[in-house]
Amino acid sequence: MSSRASIVLVTALTMLCVAALATASEDPMAPYYGNTLHQKRSNGTEAWYTFKPDHTYGALNQDGTTYAGTWRINEQGETCIKIPNRATDPCAKFQARHVGDTWDRQMPNGGSEHFILEAGLKPPPAGGKTKEGAQR
């Protein structure tokens, strides 16, 4: 390979790496892909969410009920999830996180939520129920 061809190849690979890093840093959901977002609510209930880059997600409630839908980022930069049979999409600001991070959030109804970003995907428990329209 000529030195000119080598320079072109190295330049192209460098540009691809920079583009990949820029894309990952621009996607606030990237740390959530392949991991599980564990939600603990102040009323004692829990849920687990998994997000995919194709803008789909899966959810599991502590009673074993599962559902799936799509997610989007709105004009305010908040992540909104489409929940089957629900009139409005709940939205929240997702910040870049790392596996093992924990944080709290106040809910509009006055309650609170505690979140943990857990490594890997958590399967639903045996015997879990599926809501209409869910795909798991």
Dist CA 46 CA 38 (whole Å)? 7
pLDDT digits (tens, 9 = 90+) for 13-48: 434 333 334 344 588 899 999 999 999 999 999 999
| Contacts (Cβ under 8 Å, ≥6 apart) of 53 | 27, 29, 30, 33
Domain edges within the chain: 30-118
Could you tell me how far CA 14 lies from the centroid of its own chain?
Answer: 28
pTM confidence score: 0.70
Among candidate residues 26, 49, 29, the one with its CA nearest the CA of residue 37:
49
Report the alpha-carbon distance of residue 28 to residue 57 in Å, rounded.
Answer: 15
The topology under which CATH files domain 30-118 is: Lipocalin (2.40.128)
pLDDT digits (tens, 9 = 90+) for 66-117: 889 999 999 999 999 998 888 999 898 888 899 999 999 998 788 999 999 9
SS3 124: coil
